[in-house]
Amino acid sequence: MTSAADQPTPPIRTDVLIVGAGPVGLFAAFEAGVLGLTCEIVDGLDKVGGQCIELYPDKPIYDIPAIPSCTARELVERLMAQCKPFNVPIHLEQRVESVEQRADGRWTVRTERGLAFDVAAILLAAGNGAFVPQKLALAEAVPLESRHVHYSVPRLADFADKHVVVAGGGDSALDWVLALRKVARHVTLVHRRNGFSAADSSVELMRRAVEAGEMDFVIGAIAGLTVEDDALKAITLRGLDGETQLEAEHLVALYGLVADLGPIAQWGLSIHGGRIDVDTSNYESSRPGIFAAGDIANYPNKQKLILSGFHEASLALRKAYSYAYPEKKRMHVHSSYDAKLAEKLGAVG
């Protein structure tokens, strides 16, 4: 797996670009290998697994064929093991931005961090879109973004000796507040209730840190920001007893992630309800050569289930083959009857 590279690089040539390393994108990588297609995967997140890892890693899943029960995390690990024999490059922290069809019919796809791909077909397995942080609904927060208002913590050292307020009640908020209390001058956790959706052990650590005077915890909602000389000075909190002011130089709001179709919505595809219309005979979109599978695909009676996405990706890639190798006729062969493939897959495990 590669991580974000900010250098513009020459386009990477491959048969199919898979957008999304969720369960459907990972299975698609395996299926592409079985069909004899080369592919690469991009994902905007810093890890593979899509919703399974981002939203419910420890929840059991009971409706994957031949796996009576596994956690979402285990499913992703199995999918990674399944596609491993094909050594598919996975580019993380690379949100896909633009697409352009060239005169020869191939596509150039670019990511926001400068990667480019030269491909015969694109499979969008992008779920509900790229995950982006849920932001504060306060106009005065916008000009302070990245300087005084943050939606992630890129470098702890940037908060050394500062007054920091962390807002949120999930794992990220608890993990970061515990880390920040060691470097900041003062750190306060703000959450709208005295209950958390974070790991019990982190909540326990936070409560002990409050008791020890290492940090504060305040119940309330952020109602406004006081800005002076283009810098954050204080936060207005609305709580049960009305409004109070909290001194702050930095606000780290960790309200979780929301999915956003983002730039893909500008690709000229037919879209309904934020999802891409497809032909169910091959899961091709309204632009021939661009396919959609998994939660992002739209067709009558679509079910947002992992197993539906597996089927959709499999049919999409069969049609994608005709774009990558127009001169070849792909014969249907069961994977176990293909000696070379069987040898390769024998390496799984």
Ligand X SMILES: Cc1cc2nc3c(=O)[nH]c(=O)nc-3n(C[C@H](O)[C@H](O)[C@H](O)COP(=O)(O)OP(=O)(O)OC[C@H]3O[C@@H](n4cnc5c(N)ncnc54)[C@H](O)[C@@H]3O)c2cc1C
Residues flagged as binding site for FAD: 43, 51, 56, 96, 131, 295, 336
Minimum Å gap between C-beta 140 and ligand X is 29
Distance of CA 93 to the CA centre of its chain: 8
**Residue 25 interacts with ligand X (CB under 6 A): yes or no:** yes
Tokens of 344: 């390769």
Nearer to ligand X, 249 or 295 (CB): 295
Tokens of 97: 């931005």
**Residue 43 interacts with ligand X (CB under 6 A): yes or no:** yes
Q: Please choose, from the candidates 254, 252, 253, 247, the residue with its C-alpha nearest in 3D space to the C-alpha of residue 186.
A: 247
Spatial neighbors of 227 by CB under 8 A, at least 6 apart, are 140, 144, 233
In the set 33, 127, 220, 289, which binds ligand X (CB under 6 A)?
A: 127
User: How far, in Å, are 16, 83, 248, 274, 336 from residue 344 at the CA level?
Assistant: 20, 11, 57, 39, 11
> Cα(24)–Cα(126) distance, rounded to whole angstroms?
9
**Residue 33 interacts with ligand X (CB under 6 A): yes or no:** no
> Cα(27)–Cα(114) distance, rounded to whole angstroms?
26
In the set 22, 33, 85, 169, which binds ligand X (CB under 6 A)?
A: 22
In the set 34, 39, 110, 128, which binds ligand X (CB under 6 A)?
A: 128
Amino acid present at 285: S
Point out which span in 152-160, 172-180, 306-314, 320-328 binds ligand X (CB under 6 A). 306-314
**Residue 125 interacts with ligand X (CB under 6 A): yes or no:** yes
**Residue 289 interacts with ligand X (CB under 6 A): yes or no:** no
Nearer to ligand X, 34 or 96 (CB): 96
Spatial neighbors of 12 by CB under 8 A, at least 6 apart, are 40, 89, 115, 116, 117, 118
In the set 85, 129, 168, 220, which binds ligand X (CB under 6 A)?
A: 129
| SS3 of 73-123 | HHHHHHHHHHHHHHCCCEECCCCEEEEEECCCCCEEEEECCCCEEEEEEEE
Task: Please tell me the count of residues contacting ligand X according to CB under 6 A.
Answer: 37
In the set 16, 23, 168, 291, which binds ligand X (CB under 6 A)?
A: 23
Nearer to ligand X, 69 or 270 (CB): 69
Nearer to ligand X, 54 or 214 (CB): 54
In the set 18, 32, 34, 45, which binds ligand X (CB under 6 A)?
A: 45
Using CB under 6 A as the criterion, what x/- string covers residues 179-218 for binding ligand X? Answer: ----------------------------------------
> Cα(228)–Cα(235) distance, rounded to whole angstroms?
12
Distance of CA 123 to the CA centre of its chain: 16
**Residue 39 interacts with ligand X (CB under 6 A): yes or no:** no
Nearer to ligand X, 187 or 261 (CB): 261
Which chain residues interact with ligand X by CB under 6 A? 19-25, 42-45, 50-52, 55-56, 59, 61, 63, 95-96, 125-131, 262, 264, 294-295, 304-307, 309
